[in-house]
Amino acid sequence: MTIIINEDLCKGCGYCIEICPVNYLRDSKKINKKGYKLPETNESNSCTLCKRCELLCPEMAIDVVKEEA
CATH number of 2-65: 3.30.70.20
Give the residue-averaged pLDDT of 13-33. Answer: 96
Q: Would you kindly state where each structural domain of the chain is located, as residue ranges?
A: 2-65
β-strand partners of 39:
27
CA nearest to 46, candidates 22, 69, 67:
22
Number of H helices, E strands in the chain: 2, 4
On average, the pLDDT of the chain sits at 93
CA dist 68 to 2, 20, 45, 47, 63, Å?
11, 23, 20, 15, 15
DSSP line for 20-39? -TT--EEEEEEE-TTSPEEE
pLDDT at 69 > cutoff 70: no
Q: What percent of the chain has pLDDT over 70?
A: 99
pLDDT digits (tens, 9 = 90+) for 39-53: 999 988 889 999 999
